[in-house]
Chain A
């Protein structure tokens, strides 16, 4: 690849390392490592929340899906995510922050144990988070390998190892503090690059009307907001990606890190607007590249996922190309850093505490767990493809269905019980896994276009409310502080 692109990518990685060095010096306690010392301001928290939600899949895969099928992916996910930020702030913003004030509350396990007075719920939440983290990390490792291979020409394994070494460097030392400040840097890159490349892509495509006319002449669906995607899929995505956002652990744990309640005020708008701006890259390149392809001015692709990298190498300067590549790395690494710290906290805090095991020197064990998770996910992603594919199904839908009812509805509704929580977490995990595995092996149980995560999410909400109503005799007396926090 062009030397300018390589230099920009190296500078980007170097800045991440420097942030890691700074954060390592600041990280002295478990609280610093897991919740950034509960000292984040609005902008850092909101951009970190946006960065952790906008993944490599959203940028690279989203552009490919827009290229191949038009706006349908964005009509579902792109619209739903900013709405998801708003709904999450409304649903749990103040509630999570206030619960975080009730003692040493660092993880979702801490939150649910305080809410339900149950170690079982803590353990189940820890299990759901751990499975999801390993699955997510495996796919991020593979994506990192591909991008590093594109930039430096090394093999995907070596590329992934370089990327992971850098990610590991800043996460092991600086924990979530390094994570959120690299997320801030990475989030700003994503937004700036996306806005810039959007106008450039429209210009290359000949303007909005020219792009629309080309797409319409080829297939009117490509000039519609749904593209060639099924309306059922779009409706499922809207439901799952906006309502289900409040069930994403890497997002909602950020509320525990905020300095004071006032910092919440502009967070939803900052995160939502940043996400909206970052999707401009996907729309701009996806539609413009397809319009050029229709005119015969765009190279043939072996896979739609190549649309973004082919566009930047053929139609932009090396400086812009380098910035876009840095933006892609940013999307992958910011999601990876959030997950690795989250996984470490589940392994060293939530699961042991569920079995009454007290971990001494938690900070050290968290650092060891980060290394362990990175090594395991690397080994899985390169040597146990089937296992990664199986764990890879534990994604957004699993988190939404396993975590949303127990945490979000549990913090709103006094009648929620521990049995309702455990039932909804287990049903959410099992249903997602079974339906995804069945679909993978050709056993189709749902109508075409229906997103499995949306089915599991709706079922887990139904199970949570129904089981809670059936087990009211087990409902615990809530103390005044918790009731105040639950009022929002």
Chain B
């Protein structure tokens, strides 16, 4: 079985869990598997790079870990109260601060990661 086949079957398994989440109305079953799908999507984009240097696997793995940590933190923080506490961070409630200052910028950092991996591939090709 090729590496891409394994990734496709992993994607299939995760999407099946997401589907179960949608028909049972469980948001955790939809969101958490999807955070791993994000890593697989990035891996599909840098496969050539990873084949040449398997240590590059750290890129998608790190993104998945950071996303899981941030969303799990938000999940735990908002169990008792939606605001995550009574403090203010830069004028925002703790949960809002985590979302706006942590989770939101991460999407833009992944966009930057594309440019960075693109440069690495160019260097390897040269």
Residues of A within 8 A of B (CB): 71, 75, 78-80, 82-83, 85-87, 89-91, 93-94, 207-212, 216, 220-221, 223-226, 230-232, 234-236, 238-239, 242-243, 262, 264-266, 268-269, 271-273, 276, 409, 412-415, 446-450, 454-455, 458-459, 461-462, 465-466, 487-488
The CB with the most chain B CB atoms within 10 A, among A449, A450, A455, A487, is that of A450
Given A239-B18, A459-B19, are A86 and B110 neighbors across the interface (CB < 8 Å)?
yes
Q: Contact between A269 and B83 (Cβ–Cβ < 8 Å)?
A: no
B62 within 8 A of A: no
Given A82-B108, A450-B25, are A266 and B15 neighbors across the interface (CB < 8 Å)?
no
* Known A90-B42, A209-B88; further 12 A-B contacts with Cβ < 8 A: A78-B104, A87-B42, A212-B93, A232-B27, A235-B21, A239-B37, A269-B111, A273-B111, A458-B19, A465-B12, A487-B47, A488-B48
Specify the chain A residue showing the minimal Cβ separation from B37: A243
Q: Contact between B4 and A412 (Cβ–Cβ < 8 Å)?
A: yes
Specify the chain A residue showing the minimal Cβ separation from B34: A239
Query: Closest CB of chain A to B72's CB: distance in Å?
Result: 14
Q: Contact between A89 and B19 (Cβ–Cβ < 8 Å)?
A: no
Residue among B19, B24, B113 making CB contact with A86, cutoff 8 Å: B113
The residues in B between 94 and 109 inclusive whose CB is less than 8 angstroms from any CB of A are 95-96, 98-100, 103-104, 107-108
Q: Contact between B99 and A268 (Cβ–Cβ < 8 Å)?
A: no
Q: Mark B75-94, 1 if CB is under 8 A from A, else 0.
A: 00010011110001011110
- Give the distance in Å from the alpha carbon of A79 to the alpha carbon of B111 in the complex: 13
- Give the distance in Å from the alpha carbon of A463 to the alpha carbon of B46 in the complex: 26
Chosen A-B contacts, 16 in total, with CB atoms closer than 8 Å, are: A83-B107, A85-B111, A87-B38, A91-B44, A225-B74, A230-B27, A232-B27, A264-B118, A276-B104, A276-B107, A409-B8, A412-B4, A413-B8, A454-B18, A455-B22, A461-B12
Q: Which residues of B contact A236 (CB under 8 A)?
A: 22, 30
Q: Which residues of B contact A221 (CB under 8 A)?
A: 82
